[in-house]
Amino acid sequence: MPQFEAKSYAFTEFPPAQNFIGGEWIEPKGRERIEVINPRHGKAMSTVPMCGTEEVDAAVAAARGALAAWRDLPLRERAQVFYGLRERMHQHLEELTWLVSHENGKTYDESKAEVLKGIECVEYGCSLPNLAAGDQLDVSRGVNCQIVYEPLGIVAGVTPFNFPNMVPLWMLPQALVGGNAFILKPSEQVPLSVVRLAELLTEAGLPPGIFNVVNGGKDVVEALCDHPEIKALAFVGSTPVAKLVYGRAAQSGKRALCLGGAKNHLIVVPDADLELTADNVVASFTGCAGQRCMAASVMVAVGEVDHIIDAIAERASKIEVGKDLGAITSEAAQKRIVGYIDDAEKKGVKVRVDGRGKAGDAGGYWVGPTVLDGVDATMPAWSDEIFGPVLSIVRVKNIGEAIELENKSPYGNASSVYTTSGDIARHVMGKVSAGMCGVNVGVPVPREPFGFGGWNDSKFGQGNITGWDGYRFWTAVRKVTTKWALQKDQNWMS
Ligand code: NAD
């Protein structure tokens, strides 16, 4: 696979994505190929094969052959590969950035931020030799207990379209430094960033068969869930699929962690700082064209906050579609988003800022920033994940009502409060039903080393996907009890 040559938004083709199995690029035989669309242009920039059980079996065989030598390396040596990956990601930062932008549709700046955040995840992997020492204690006279983190074996990951570079890097550093062999199925909408990651990992010294890529959709995911040799599976995507995958993976005895969708509530109270709140809320619901699981989706307006809503509307209407705001992933997604705006309008909601009919300069799929004022809890604009640059404002009388509304959502990824009162902030942070919370923060992503993961219908499984929890997810804890003194007396431990 050559480098990706783009240096601007100009339409650029890329060779067809292939599977990466046993360290080789493999063209699957007799499989349908679908188009990989550049959403900014609405045109095919590449194709991707839609594989199934056969290719998953081949990847498992390659992983099986490579695993023993890899898991026998000291952890510190395995981590060296990620130092090498970090260096190469910096060297190729422009290339990786444009690749994300072209296959996903986000702006150059957003794409660069994604790759840099991916690098932060790689750095966590580099730090594991200093973190994964384990614990030991003399539990009795001459008797020591030690904890050792062992690889699980062959493991797998399934990733979504909205962060083609970063989400795979939520998984790979901990899983691979932990001594596993990995099979990744990237989103069929954005398979190309993973192609480049596979190459950079290989250049950085990862042995063949330790990282494998099998392209496709549902069939590949089901084959990964069902394969008895795959010991753990992490999934990131929408809630209905996360739930299905969690159930199916668990049925075959796997460890599973499945992150789902979101409907993040931002609670804004009258004492909130006007500038900071307006800037933050707008950045949160329009960033990545609202196609991120941490995007603001509902603003809960507590009491008299019209001055803040006015400032939000003013800022949102100034955003230039195509320049400041990227494309929507597909025509179907664009229609879905517009459908929610139409439905809310029909139900009497005021469309304060209307993103319908907005377009970038190169064809493609677009929705401009949209502010819906007067949504209520009976409407799909409140309950459903719209996954576009749409802010649904629900007005409530007091903080109690705001918390009740937030708690009613089945999701639980993120929630924030905007206030200058420590007392209010503390109260709300103690009551909202979400895993990642913010005080005057629009996108409360826990940066490394803090783990990323929501609650409720935003996550199925235990723990977080990044940070130390990620390492724990991809490893098994062995407890070793050793009697050093060779005591011959009998006790209950003998
Ligand atoms: P998606 O659920 O449609 O697809 C995710 C992955 O699942 C893809 O690789 C896809 O090929 C596969 N897939 C799709 N349908 C399947 C099925 N029926 N059976 C098995 N596998 C299937 O999600 P998407 O549209 O790619 O991504 C957007 C969604 O991901 C949003 O809901 C967003 O909130 C969520 N997301 C969540 C997080 C998080 O951390 N919680 C992060 C990023 C994205």
Helix 75-91 to helix 166-177 angle (10° resolution) is 160
Best substitution site from 36, 293, 465 to test ligand 1's pocket, by max atoms within 8 Å of Cβ? 293
Which residue, judged by its Cα, is nearest atom 39 of ligand 1? Answer: 259
Q: With a 6 A CB cut-off, is 81 part of the ligand 1 pocket? A: no
Q: What are 467's two structure tokens?
A: 């940070």
Closest CA relative to residue 39, chosen from 359, 330, 336, 387: 330
Mean pLDDT of 159-185: 98
Q: Under a CB-based contact definition with an 8 Å cutoff, are residues 88 and 257 in contact?
A: no
Alpha-carbon gap, residue 393 to 259, rounded angstroms: 26
The pLDDT, as a whole number, for residue 484 is: 73
The pLDDT, as a whole number, for residue 141 is: 84
Instruction: Give residue 365's pLDDT band: very low, low, confident or very high (50, 70, 90).
Output: very high
Minimum-distance ligand 1 atom for the alpha carbon of 244:
19
Place of tokens 């920039």: 45
The pLDDT, as a whole number, for residue 489 is: 67
Q: Under a CB-based contact definition with an 8 Å cutoff, are residues 78 and 59 in contact?
A: no
Q: What are 30's two structure tokens?
A: 């007799």
The pLDDT, as a whole number, for residue 134 is: 81
Q: With a 6 A CB cut-off, is 290 part of the ligand 1 pocket? A: no
Which residue, judged by its Cα, is nearest atom 21 of ligand 1? Answer: 218
In 10 A of CB 356, how many CB atoms?
15
Alpha-carbon gap, residue 372 to 448, rounded angstroms: 34
State which amino acid sits at residue 436.
Answer: M
SS3 90: helix
Q: What are 169's two structure tokens?
A: 């890097």
State which amino acid sits at residue 480.
Answer: V
Is pLDDT at 360 greater than 90 in this prediction?
A: no
Is-catalytic flag, 293? Answer: yes
Spot the catalytic one: 225, 288, 293, 437.
Answer: 293
For residue 46, what are the contacts with CB-CB under 8 A and spacing of at least 6?
Answer: 13, 14, 15, 16, 17, 35, 36, 103, 191, 192
pTM, 2 dp: 0.97
State which amino acid sits at residue 275.
Answer: E
Q: With a 6 A CB cut-off, is 241 part of the ligand 1 pocket? A: yes
- CA of 162 from ligand 1 middle (Å) equals 9
Place of tokens 């260096």: 87
Ordered alpha helix ranges (H), 161-207: 166-177, 192-203
Instruction: Give residue 148's pLDDT band: very low, low, confident or very high (50, 70, 90).
Output: very high
Give the burial class of 32: count Cβ atoms within 10 A of its Cβ; 0-12 exposed, 13-18 middle, 19 or more buried. Answer: exposed
Is pLDDT at 418 greater than 90 in this prediction?
A: yes
Minimum-distance ligand 1 atom for the alpha carbon of 188:
11
> What digits encode the pLDDT tens for the residues 443-464?
999 999 999 999 999 999 999 9
On average, the pLDDT of the chain sits at 96
Q: With a 6 A CB cut-off, is 414 part of the ligand 1 pocket? A: no
List the domains of the chain with CATH numbers: 19-260+458-478 (3.40.605.10), 264-439 (3.40.309.10)
- CA of 406 from ligand 1 middle (Å) equals 23
Q: What are 231's two structure tokens?
A: 């010991």
Q: Under a CB-based contact definition with an 8 Å cutoff, are residues 351 and 367 in contact?
A: no
Edge-to-edge strands, sheet with 154-158: 24-26, 19-21, 211-213, 181-185, 154-158, 230-236, 255-259, 459-460
> What digits encode the pLDDT tens for the residues 259-300?
999 999 999 999 999 999 999 999 999 999 999 999 999 999
> What digits encode the pLDDT tens for the residues 11-22?
999 999 999 999
Q: With a 6 A CB cut-off, is 70 part of the ligand 1 pocket? A: no
b/e for 214-253, b at 16 or more Cβ within 10 A? Answer: bbbbebbbbbbbebeebbbbbbbbbbebbebbbebbbeee
For residue 210, what are the contacts with CB-CB under 8 A and spacing of at least 6?
Answer: 63, 66, 67, 70, 176, 181, 182
Q: Under a CB-based contact definition with an 8 Å cutoff, are residues 84 and 124 in contact?
A: no
The pLDDT, as a whole number, for residue 359 is: 85
> What digits encode the pLDDT tens for the residues 29-63?
999 999 999 999 999 999 999 999 999 999 999 99
The pLDDT, as a whole number, for residue 196 is: 96
> What digits encode the pLDDT tens for the residues 59-104?
999 999 999 999 999 999 999 999 999 999 999 999 999 999 999 9
- CA of 348 from ligand 1 middle (Å) equals 32
Alpha-carbon gap, residue 271 to 255, rounded angstroms: 45
Pairing type for strands 264-268 and 296-302 reads parallel
Q: With a 6 A CB cut-off, is 411 part of the ligand 1 pocket? A: no
Minimum-distance ligand 1 atom for the alpha carbon of 170:
40
Instruction: Give residue 1's pLDDT band: very low, low, confident or very high (50, 70, 90).
Output: low
Q: With a 6 A CB cut-off, is 457 part of the ligand 1 pocket? A: no
> What digits encode the pLDDT tens for the residues 100-117?
999 999 999 999 999 999
Q: With a 6 A CB cut-off, is 442 part of the ligand 1 pocket? A: no
- CA of 57 from ligand 1 middle (Å) equals 23
Is pLDDT at 490 greater than 90 in this prediction?
A: no
Q: What are 401's two structure tokens?
A: 């009502």
Could you tell me how far CA 489 lies from the centroid of its own chain?
55
Report helix, strand and coil shares of the chain as percent, to nearest 5: 40, 20, 40
For residue 217, what are the contacts with CB-CB under 8 A and spacing of at least 6?
Answer: 50, 188
Minimum-distance ligand 1 atom for the alpha carbon of 216:
11
The pLDDT, as a whole number, for residue 348 is: 98
Q: With a 6 A CB cut-off, is 187 part of the ligand 1 pocket? A: yes
- CA of 160 from ligand 1 middle (Å) equals 5
Q: With a 6 A CB cut-off, is 293 part of the ligand 1 pocket? A: yes
For residue 316, what are the contacts with CB-CB under 8 A and spacing of at least 6?
Answer: 282, 285, 286, 353, 369, 370, 371, 391
Minimum-distance ligand 1 atom for the alpha carbon of 245:
20
Please list the residues that pair with 298 across neighbouring strands: 265, 392
